[in-house]
Amino acid sequence: MNILGLDISQIADLGTMVAQSGAIRAAAEVAGDEVFEYVIGIAVVIYSTNPTG
């Protein structure tokens, strides 16, 4: 049996839009550097897990 759903783009949204946690930054923070830290963090975890791999 097919389940009936509304097209989400047709469903009303609130006048007060609230973004996800972390979506607003204080002035002049550079998101790219956080991405850099994230990538480096993953690299550190991989290296720590298997340093000879």
Residue 14 tokens, joined: 């609130």
| Smallest distance from other proteins to CB 53, Å | 19
What binding mask, one character per residue, do residues 31-50 give for other proteins by CB under 8 A, x or -?
Answer: --xx--x------x------
Give how many residues touch other proteins by CB under 8 A: 31
**CA dihedral sign of residues 39, 45, 49, 52:** positive
Q: Evaluate whether 25 touches 31 at the Cβ level (below 8 Å).
A: yes
Instruction: Give the footprint of other proteins on this chain (CB under 8 A).
Output: 3-8, 10-30, 33-34, 37, 44
